[in-house]
Amino acid sequence: MSDGFERSLEERLCRYAAVDTQSDETVASSPSTPCQLDLQGMLVAELERIGAEEVTLTDYGAVLATIPATAGGDAPVMGWLAHVDTAPAYNATGVKPRVIRGYNGGTISFPDAPDLALTPEVSPALADKLGHDIVTASGTTLLGADDKAGVAIVMTAAEHLLANPRIPHGRIRIAFTPDEEIGRGVDARLPADLGADFAYTFDGALPGEIEYETFSADQAVVRITGVAIHPGLATGKLVNALHLAARIVETLPQATRTPEVTRDREGFWHIYQMSGTAAEAELKFILRDFELAGLEATGEMLRRVCDAVAATEPRAGIEVTIRPQYRNMRYWLEKDMTPVDLARDAVRAVGLTPRSVPIRGGTDGSRLTELGVPTPNIFTGMQEIHGPLEWISVQDMALATRVALELAGLAAGGRGPGQA
């Protein structure tokens, strides 16, 4: 079924994806990179053009806007969110989006990377997309459908409601956030500024998926101070910080506790950055588990390994710092599943079967839920994210847009948290 959303979604995604918005965790400002404001400025102008109200760019880099209510009664205020930044994990400069129309089931090649190939064998979800319009990048960058597809979906649904004021719905608040990929998408001021009773992030994958359980997440930084000296004079004196760093990584359990060997509800530790010199080195880890006890145990395991390595070389200094990033939204949503139930009804209304699987990651909704705004996650269709094979179906994006509109109608019936 086509609602005429496909061309609008395609145009928006390609336009947004071409703007470099990669975030950078090494920068403390918000947003962490000024290029994110390039897209945020475009979105402010677009929201104003389509008739949204209370369009604001906050001083922490989020864009907020309002779709005014058209229904009477006490409908709850719903939030729609998506993030504008792309992951630091892969090149995001010079993205060249392209559309493969009417996908025929074969191999998708990439003009800027002739040896790269996207097939149903590589990405099984592609096998179900015969006849779909598939958007990819050109082979040397990620696409950025994570989460510019979500931005396009929210913007397209907003435009539809604003152009059709006879459709009954409550007040809807829109937020486009920066820095989600580095765990800083939800500023402490956002819940109050958003002013929503509950919300949805559009930042998921397969059609029909509604996610309300995420990892709990910590970041760990290990700083190692060695003893520096000219290597020609090093006998009995040099303590090489890089050697100690390598020993820490090698001592940690790799056969059972890293991302590449874990699945489903299994947690992991993951080293994602190692830097330094023989004098000083730094290791950065993410720690993940669905249960807080497991997350704490992983952190304690890292500390024990660092202590054991430190004991072998008392002249060195090894410091471990662990900070919380986000927590499993299930801890709060399971107390009132109404937002999840609404999403399931909306998914059924567009002809899909709702499915809920734990996210082996997190969303802005993780932190928002923890701060008092229940926020499950809705699919967009994005696949193979954070790399050159990233792709998305325009038709799947259209399904997500229809889900957003169904949610608006359902909430107009007064169904919000505590109102079911």
Written in H, E and C, the secondary structure of the chain is: CCCCCHHHHHHHHHHHHCCCCECCCCCCCCCCCCHHHHHHHHHHHHHHHHCCEEEEECCCCCEEEEECCCCCCCCCCEEEEEECCECCCCCCCCCCCEEECCCCCCCEECCCCCCCEECCCCCHHHHHCCCCCEEECCCCCCCCHHHHHHHHHHHHHHHHHHHCCCCCCCCEEEEEECCHHHCCCCCCCHHHHHCCCEEEEEEECCCCEEECCECEEEEEEEEEECECCCHHHCCCCCECHHHHHHHHHHHCCCCCCCHHHCCCCCCEEEEEEEEECCCEEEEEEEEEECCHHHHHHHHHHHHHHHHHHHHCCCCCEEEEEEEEEECCCHHHHCCCCHHHHHHHHHHHHCCCCCECCCECCCCHHHHHHHCCCCCCEEECCCECCCCCCCEEEHHHHHHHHHHHHHHHHHHCCCCCCCCC
* Edge-first strand listing for the sheet containing 210-211: 53-57, 63-67, 172-177, 78-83, 198-204, 377-379, 210-211
Indicate if 85 belongs to the active site: yes
Q: Which of 20, 85, 213, 218 is catalytic?
A: 85
Q: Which of 46, 146, 147, 180 is catalytic?
A: 180
Q: Catalytic positions, please?
A: 85, 180
